[in-house]
Chains A and B, each alone.
Chain A
Amino acid sequence: GAGVSQSPRYKVAKRGQDVALRCDPISGHVSLFWYQQALGQGPEFLTYFQNEAQLDKSGLPSDRFFAERPEGSVSTLKIQRTQQEDSAVYLCASSLFSGGLPEQYFGPGTRLTVT
């Protein structure tokens, strides 16, 4: 079946622009996670949804970052007034059960470059 998909795969934004990154999780998966991965680093947790409820947003780096999952399936990560330090790969992952166990299925990521 289809895995986790993300769009766009690549995004170039000028500093100060707003961007919206989309994640389509595996159908029926309860949990959805967003991560930020800088070059040469491991993914860093941003936020977690259980169905439509955002249970943890402790990893969001600033109030310019906003995520939603209004119907408990597709999720959007929005970054307002992008800065150069926002350049990274943004990964989405979904999991069948709550809490991300036993494994998370990752999408290919969206590479954001802020110029």
Chain B
Amino acid sequence: SQKIEQNSEALNIQEGKTATLTCNYTNYSPAYLQWYRQDPGRGPVFLLLIRENEKEKRKERLKVTFDTTLKQSLFHITASQPADSATYLCVSRGSGGGADGLTFGKGTHLIIQP
């Protein structure tokens, strides 16, 4: 079955550094990948979407890459701030129509230390 894997261990980064989160997928070729942020007690919030024919997408301090050879997406936060501390979720859907097979990773808990 299709699978999204994220490092579910907490990632501790010092303020001001770049945080890099990894999302690996297996057993399928997603048409796109999305990244969401989730704070405790809240629903996920959409951040970025990258399609299979795009190598990189940027939004302010955020950058996402999509490597279909490695079957991997990297999510970068530059100049990280304590307010960036949250859980970041990678989500995808396979190629083809319908809403079947929406798949979320477990999320990576990012902690930015002042």
Contacts and interface: CB of A to CB of B under 8 A. Distances in A.
B99 A106 contact: no
Interface in B24-72: 32, 34, 41-46, 49
B26 to A, nearest CB: 15
A102 B49 contact: yes
Contact of B93 (A55, A100, A108): A100
A48 interface: yes
Contact of B43 (A45, A48, A91): A91
Contact of B99 (A40, A55, A107, A108): A55
Interface string B99-112: 11111111100000
A105 B46 contact: yes
Given A42-B104, A42-B106, A43-B104, A99 B99 contact: yes
A74 interface: no
A18 interface: no
B106 A108 contact: no
A31 B104 contact: no
Given A99-B98, A100-B99, A42 B45 contact: no
B97 interface: yes
B88 to A, nearest CB: 10
A4 B45 CA distance: 12
Interface of A: 4, 31, 33, 35, 40-45, 48, 50, 55-56, 58, 91, 93, 99-109
